[in-house]
Amino acid sequence: MPTKKAPQVGDMFRCESCGFEVHVTKECKCSSGCAELVCCGKDMTNVTEPEVINK
Ligand SMILES: [Zn+2]
């Protein structure tokens, strides 16, 4: 049973070790949450910022 939700379009993931960042431009549609974003041997952190209303 997957515990992580699948990456959504617009999500940002960061490696806390080296600073590598990934911006999701296409969501993973797999039902089992198969997308694994790993860097430096650790899961990447979802650092998606809340949607900015006042631009
Ligand atoms: Zn890294």
- What is the residue-level pLDDT of the chain in tens, covering all 55 positions? 445 677 889 999 999 999 999 999 998 888 776 778 899 999 999 999 776 677 6
Q: Structural domain of residue 30, as residue ranges?
A: 1-49
Rounded to the nearest angstrom, the distance between the alpha carbon of 55 and the centre of ligand 1 is 31
What pLDDT does 1 receive?
45
On whether residue 28 sits in a domain, the answer given is yes
Domain count of the chain? Answer: 1
What pLDDT does 55 receive?
63
For residues 44 and 38, the answer to whether their CB atoms sit within 8 Å is yes
CATH code of the domain in which 43 resides: 2.20.28.100
What pLDDT does 31 receive?
78
On whether residue 54 sits in a domain, the answer given is no
Rounded to the nearest angstrom, the distance between the alpha carbon of 40 and the centre of ligand 1 is 4
What pLDDT does 33 receive?
64
pTM for the complete prediction?
0.72
On whether residue 25 sits in a domain, the answer given is yes
Region class of 31: left (phi > 0), else alpha (psi between -120 and 50), else beta? alpha
